[in-house]
Amino acid sequence: MSKKLVLAYSGGLDTSYCAKYLSKEEGFEVHAVSVNTGGFSAKEIEGIEQKAIQLGATSYKSIDAVETFYSKVVKYLIYGNVLKNNTYPLSVSAERIIQAIEIVNYAKSVGAKYIAHGSTGAGNDQVRFDLIFQTLTPEIEIITPIRDHKLSREYSINYLKDNGMDLPWKKAKYSINRGLWGTSVGGEETLTSNLHLPEEAFPSQLEKTETEHVKLTFTKGELTAINDKQDSSINNIINLEEISSKFAIGRGVHVGDTIIGIKGRVGFEAPASLIIIKAHHTLEKHTLTKWQQHHKEQLGNWYGMLLHEGQYLDEVMRNIEVFLEDTQKNVSGDVFVSLHPYRFIIKGIESKHDLMNAKFGTYGEMNKSWSADEAKGFIKILSNSGKIFNHVNEQ
C-alpha cells in the first residue's frame, strides 16, 4: 500500500518535526512542499530544501504562487478596500488559502493519499488548511501530528536532537511572517492586551525623515505605475513597499476574533498594502456613485471576513468578486501621496472620471443646473416621510 504523503513545509520547527516523525516513525514517503506567496528569497528556498532532505523527505518542491496570490486574492482585497476590523489588511492570513490550494493540486499530481501540515489546535491556520483540503480532496487523509499529539515546542526540539538534528531551534523573540501583502509580527507583547510591540520588533526601521512625494496610477482599480513608471501590479507593490518601509510606515497591532472563537492580537508591518488601499479608496470616492460605494463597503467587508475564516471556496466569493471587479470600470487615475516618518497623507487625485465636475455645481457655493424653487420643492417632497411619521405618532 502506498504511503505517499505531501507535507506543507515551511522549514520551521513544527513542519521539521513532522518531516522527521512522519518519515521515521510512521513510514510515510514524505514529499515536502513550500508555496512562495512573496515571503521567500531564492537563497532561503535553497536552505529549506536542504533541511527537508536532511530530515528524511523523499523530495522537496517550491511552488511560486505570487502571481496566483495576486490575481486570485490580493486584487480583490484592493477592489474591496479590505481592512479587517478597519485595521488589518489580511497580510498573511490571506496567503494560507492559496498555499492550501497549491498543496492540494500538487498532492493530486503526484498521487499522494495523505496531506500533512504542522498547525497546532489553537490557531486559525488549522481551519483554513483543513477546509480547503476537505473540500477539494475529501478522499485524501489529513495528518496533523502537532495538533493530534498536543506537542510542546520543547518536545519537538528534543525529539529532533535525539534523532541527530541538532539545529539552532532557539525561538526568536519575535515571530516574523513575510509575504507580498505585508508582514505579521508576533511576540510576548501580542499575548497581552495592554502592551505594544517595541520599535525593534518590526523588520523595517526608520531610515528617512525628509518628506517624499509619490504618484500612484490606478487603471481599473489596479496599481499600474509609480511616479509615471509603468510596471506590473506585483512589482509596483514590491517597489512601493521598498520606498515606504524606509519611513517605518504601516505598523499596527490588530485585535480580532479568531475562527475558533477566542480573541487574538497580532502585530503587522504593511506599508504598501495600507497606502494602496487608502489611495484606491480615495480614488473610488471621486469616481463611484454613492450607492456603489455603499454596497461595495458591505460586500468588501464580507469578502474579507469569509477569506479570513477560510471560506474562500464558497461560491458566494465568486459572486462577490464579479461585483467588485465590475465596480472598477471607472476607477482610473492618479493619487498623490506624501510619505513622512511613521505616517502618510493622501493629498488628492486626478481622474477623467472624477464626479466632482464643476459644470453641475460647486458644493456649498453655487448651483448651476437647478433653480432655487426646484431646490425648495425637492426638499419639501424629501421631508414627506418624516412629516407623516411625526403626525401619526405625535405625542
Closest CA to 52 of 83, 69, 31: 31
Radius of gyration of the CA atoms of the chain, in A: 25
Mean pLDDT of 164-185: 84
Mean pLDDT of 309-336: 97
Mean pLDDT of 114-141: 94
The SS3 of residue 266 is strand
Decide if pLDDT at 168 tops 90: no
pLDDT on residue 365: 67
pLDDT on residue 52: 95
For the chain, percent of residues with pLDDT exceeding 90: 83
37-88 per-position pLDDT tens digit: 998 889 999 999 999 999 999 999 999 999 999 999 999 999 999 999 999 9
* 10-14, 134-138, 300-304, 326-330: range with lowest mean pLDDT: 10-14
Mean pLDDT of the chain: 93
Q: How far is CA 295 from CA 84, 153, 285, 324, in A?
A: 17, 46, 13, 10
Decide if pLDDT at 170 tops 90: no
Decide if pLDDT at 361 tops 70: no
* 171-180, 217-226, 304-313, 379-388: range with lowest mean pLDDT: 171-180
Q: Which domains, from first to last, does the chain contain?
A: 4-162 (3.40.50.620), 175-288+327-350 (3.90.1260.10), 358-392 (no CATH)
Cα(345)–Cα(225) distance, integer angstroms: 19
Mean pLDDT of 358-372: 72
* Cα angle 39, 33, 257; round to 5: 55
Name the residue with higher pLDDT: 132 or 370.
Answer: 132
pLDDT on residue 369: 80
- 149 pLDDT band (50/70/90 cuts)? very high
pLDDT on residue 309: 94
237-266 per-position pLDDT tens digit: 999 999 999 999 999 999 988 898 999 999
pLDDT on residue 146: 95
Cα(56)–Cα(75) distance, integer angstroms: 38
* 167-171, 283-287, 376-380: range with lowest mean pLDDT: 167-171
* 28-32, 225-229, 282-286, 365-369: range with lowest mean pLDDT: 365-369
Name the residue with higher pLDDT: 357 or 291.
Answer: 291
Decide if pLDDT at 366 tops 80: no
Closest CA to 118 of 92, 151, 163, 164: 151
DSSP letter string, 86-144: TTB--TTTTHHHHHHHHHHHHHHHHT-SEEE----TTSSHHHHHHHHHHHH-TTSEEE-
User: HSE (CB half, 13 Å, CA atoms) of 244?
Assistant: 30
92-116 per-position pLDDT tens digit: 889 999 999 999 999 999 999 999 9
Q: Does the pTM exceed 0.85?
A: yes
For the chain, percent of residues with pLDDT exceeding 70: 96
11-25 per-position pLDDT tens digit: 889 999 999 999 999
Taking residue 122's Cβ as centre, other Cβ atoms within 10 Å add up to 12
Mean pLDDT of 155-183: 86
pLDDT on residue 117: 96
